[in-house]
Amino acid sequence: MRYNGSCLSISESDLKWLNANFELVAICPEVSSGLTTPRAPAEIIGGEGVDVIGGSASVVGNDGIDVTNQFLVGARNALEICQQQNVKYAILAEASPSCGSSKIYDGSFQGVKVDGSGVTAALLEANEIRVFSQHSISKLRETLQK
C-alpha cells in the first residue's frame, strides 16, 4: 500500500509465478515504523537512501515534517524480517523514498525522478538481499535461470 492508501499492482502472470516459486512475505517499512496511511508524500532531500543511512540526507514530507527516523526504523524492521525469514530477493515499489530500487523522486516535490534507491532498498542491498521493483520481475526470473 502506498502513502496515500492506493496500491501498486503487478501483472497477474508475475504474481502467479511468484506465488508458485516463493513464499511471499509482505511488509510496509513505513507502516512498521509507526507512520500512518494515508500520510503526506515524502521525498529524500540531499541524496538517496544510502545517504540517509549515512546521515547526510533526510526524508521529509511535503508538509515539511522530517520523517527520516521513521524511514530508518522501517528499513531496519524490513531487514530484520528478511534475515529472520532467510529472504534472498525483495520486490519493492519503484520510486518510493523507502523502496525505490533504481529511481526515486529528486526531493523537489515536482514529480521529477532521478537515478537512486530508497532507504530500505539500500539497506537490503547492503546486506546482500537482491532488490527488484514491481516492473523488473522479469530480471528476477533471468537471475534465477542463470
Q: Give residue limits of the domains in the chain.
A: 12-136
List per-residue pLDDT tens for the chain, 146 residues long: 788 777 778 899 999 999 999 999 999 999 999 999 999 999 999 999 999 999 999 999 999 999 999 999 999 999 999 999 999 999 999 999 999 999 999 999 999 999 999 999 999 999 999 999 999 999 999 999 88
Task: Name beta bridge partners: 43.
Answer: 60
Q: Tell me the C-alpha distance between 35 and 52, whole Å.
A: 17
Helical ranges in the chain per DSSP H: 12-21, 29-32, 49-54, 68-84, 119-126, 137-145
Please give the Cα distance from 80 to 74 (Å, whole number).
Answer: 10
Contacts of 64 (CB under 8 A, 6+ apart): none
pLDDT at 39: 95
Q: Cα–Cα distance between 123 and 129 in angstroms, integer? A: 9
pLDDT of residue 5: 77
Q: What is the pLDDT of residue 101?
A: 95
pLDDT of residue 55: 97
Predicted confidence at residue 4, as pLDDT, reads 78
d(CA 126, CA 19): 26
Nearest to 118 by CA among 43, 31, 30, 49: 49
